[in-house]
Structure 1
Amino acid sequence: MISCRSSDTGGLGEAADVVPSKNEQVNGANGTHKPYKRAKPRTENDGLFTYLCMQLSEHQIGISVNLLSLLFLTHIFFPRARQHTWKFYHLSYYNAESGKYGCGFDDLAFVGLWLVLFVGLRVAVMDYILAPLARRGGIQTKKGLVRFQEQAWLVCYCVCSWSLGMYIVWNSEYFFNLHEMWKGWPFREICGLSKFYYLAQWAFWIAQILVVNIEEKRKDYAEMFTHHIFTISLLFLSYGFYHTRVGIVILCIMDLVDIVLPTAKLLKYMGYTQACDVFFGLFVVVWVVTRQIFFPIVIYSVYKHTLIDIPDGCYFIDGTMVSGNEPERCAELGGSVVWPNLIKAYTDRDGPVCWNSSVRFSFLALLLCLQAIIFLWFCMIVKVVVNVVRGHSADDVRSDDEGDVEEMEDVKTGYEAHHVPAAPLEQEVGVESLNFATRKGANANGAAAVRRSKNQRSTRSSGISIPGHGDHKELLGRIGCDKPS
């Protein structure tokens, strides 16, 4: 959830706080670029696997560039290998007669290429585009830079993906027509744009598995990791079972929140508190409409409308079918099994694909598990909103696992340190003659921050501090984005 006074959890619907500790200042006032730190040095207790994971985390751009270069050079200089390498660069299974694309195992190569692209592109954009923008926006702390880069990248991607997805849905026959998601199933062929969108989204969510383990772990790590696993599983199974229409609809429903929430956090990082208030309220509304209304409606459609629009039976590539009223015939075609039918596009593209109640409930189970995670996050959002409106301190159970010492240092540093870092005084001295000098203005700001910290109530689980509990009108007008003054 987001409360603009609370700690940033990095997950979906999480709180955001970028007030740094003193040891998190980066390069002071000189603004020197420092790349996004991703891995810790290897220690003697680290195993080989841990070391390899650290190296993968630290050198994402280099590994991505090397893999892409190797694939490109192989494609150019080894003609015999092109029958395999071309699958990475082109959408497979094109049908010239229909002008559409089929689905199959070769599409996994295209997903692999975009997985590598997303891993390298994410870090490159964060380091060389978003980090300078963050500094120009007044963010001069290490923690603030990292949070800004992570959320800005998510905004950049989701704006593109949601716009493309909505364009596809807007120009389709199933725009706000749930029955059209099912009529005519199985959809063995789809247009090239829909296929590209689906495979690219699939690659992105696989990359998120890596990201959630690279970024600083939050208290909701298990929920985020589980959410990504369910998302990838649904993409894999829906693509293999020719249910791309409902998959595109769900992706569009989910992506909108991932634009509004990170935007609110970015505004907060840069100190635009009133704009953060607006986007916080917008975030709550968008979450309720998309994830608590639209998504359950789609789940209901899977449960109810498929009974009407997709009769039980086995469907052949020529459009004929064997009805479920012929159980013996359906059993011979594999209609009584679940898993072989779910991955039919990967194993037997031209063979019959069967629909039955077991398959339907398999998809329902996955969707309901995903909805359970979403509802858990929604309860946390409601809890924060209610507590803030009532004038009580919000207890964010999804905040970072940070120590008490670091949390107190954050309070002592104050909000001014986020935007006006003191210029470092560099002097080469011995240990016996260490002397720390600061500017007069910095001392005044620090003293003011210490005085303010004495009047603030801080909770360990969230780090959320809400001054002025007695002023209910102010809290109703500003939901969590203003800083102590």
Structure 2
Amino acid sequence: MTGGFAGKTKFKKVAETAWRFSYFSFAVGLGYWAINDSEHLYDIIQCWTNWPYQHINDKVWTYYMIEIGFYWALLFSQIFFDIKRSDFWQMILHHGITIFLLFISFSINFVRVGTLVLISHDFTDIFIEFAKLIRYAGWNTTLEYFFVIFMIVWIGTRLVYYPFWIIYSVVFDAPALIEKTYSWTNITQSPIVPRILLGMLLGLLVLHIFWTILLVNIAIKSIKGGELGDAREEGDSDSDVELESSSSTDSETEKSKKNK
């Protein structure tokens, strides 16, 4: 076996997925605990009022630090330990953008909008990882029903809430409340950092669209009679088959020797 701690085995995939499912479930609960009494959770305009003199309480600080630490760990494990899937570079880009966004948003005190981005993304990731666990368990009928729920959550959070609620507010609400003369198109106007932040947010949206296309392709294949699978694993599925075939062949060889 080669690659990671245990090679490209089903056990390793399940272990990776179960770990991420556990973390994202914890992170969503932690995030809600951190901001459930904050006005910006229900009124996004509050993300920009009184900026930059917005107090960061201990709960939000703890939540942000844990998330930053997690994504650094995720980036590190993605590079050195996790199974290399077909969207390896897209995932590296995603983790890099996320870390950069967290760093910038914390540095310029855009933490309020940062918490909304984190919670909405982590919430969807719970469904992603749980769907993978169902698939690894071989519960194909359950997976088909759950895939519908997952797609609703994915589209609702990644393609509706994120662009039309969060990014929309960044583009149209933030300038008016922070500095009325601020123009996104005037690239020489200070401050420059919010433009970088917006660029990173749009970069995440591009990745969301890319993964949505993959998900739609999976759905189309399923409708045509195929099984629901993870398009990201197309590049490493052969290795699993080879390992299973090799194990099966070895087992048959041992049995034939005993019979002789």
1:41-440 → structure 2 map (5 Å cutoff): 143-213=9-79, 214-296=81-163, 297-311=165-179, 356=191, 358-391=192-225, 398-402=232-236, 407=241, 436-437=254-255
Q: Contact 2:117 / 2:162 at 8 angstroms: preserved in 1?
A: yes
Most deviating of 266-275 and 161-170? 266-275
1:388 deviates by: 1.9
RMSD: 3.3
Q: Contact 1:261 / 1:280 at 8 angstroms: preserved in 2?
A: no
1:224 deviates by: 0.3
> In structure 2, what is the Cα distance between the partners aligned to 1:408 and 1:262?
25
Deviations 1:132-164 (A, max 9, x none): xxxxxxxxxx71211111000001111111111
Change in CA separation of 1:250 and 1:209 when aligned onto 2, cut-off 3 Å? same
> In structure 1, what is the Cα distance between the partners aligned to 2:215 and 2:188?
41
TM-score (norm 1): 0.46
Gap regions ≥5 residues in structure 1: 1-22, 25-35, 41-141, 314-323, 325-335, 339-354, 426-434, 439-485
Secondary structure of the residue aligned to 1:256 is helix
Q: Contact 1:187 / 1:243 at 8 angstroms: preserved in 2?
A: no
> In structure 1, what is the Cα distance between the partners aligned to 2:20 and 2:199?
28
Within the candidate set 19, 33, 38, 2:5 is matched to 38
1:38 counterpart letter in structure 2: F
> In structure 1, what is the Cα distance between the partners aligned to 2:20 and 2:106?
24
2:98 counterpart letter in structure 1: T
Q: Using CA pairs below 8 Å that are at least 6 residues apart, which structure has the higher relative contact order? A: 2
> In structure 1, what is the Cα distance between the partners aligned to 2:60 and 2:236?
43
2:255 counterpart letter in structure 1: A
Secondary structure of the residue aligned to 1:216 is coil
Q: Contact 1:162 / 1:255 at 8 angstroms: preserved in 2?
A: yes
Secondary structure of the residue aligned to 2:41 is coil
1:252 deviates by: 0.3
1:190 deviates by: 1.0
Deviations 1:68-113 (A, max 9, x none): xxxxxxxxxxxxxxxxxxxxxxxxxxxxxxxxxxxxxxxxxxxxxx
1:282 deviates by: 1.6
> In structure 2, what is the Cα distance between the partners aligned to 1:148 and 1:405?
16
2:222 counterpart letter in structure 1: V
Give aligned pairs, total: 250
2:143 counterpart letter in structure 1: C
1:191 counterpart letter in structure 2: N
Gap regions ≥5 residues in structure 2: none
Q: Contact 2:87 / 2:232 at 8 angstroms: preserved in 1?
A: yes
1:381 deviates by: 0.7
1:380 deviates by: 1.1
Change in CA separation of 1:392 and 1:286 when aligned onto 2, cut-off 3 Å? same
Q: Contact 2:6 / 2:12 at 8 angstroms: preserved in 1?
A: no
Most deviating of 211-220 and 197-206? 211-220
TM-score (norm 2): 0.83
2:122 counterpart letter in structure 1: D
**Whose helix fraction is larger, Structure 1's or Structure 2's?**
2
1:174 deviates by: 1.0
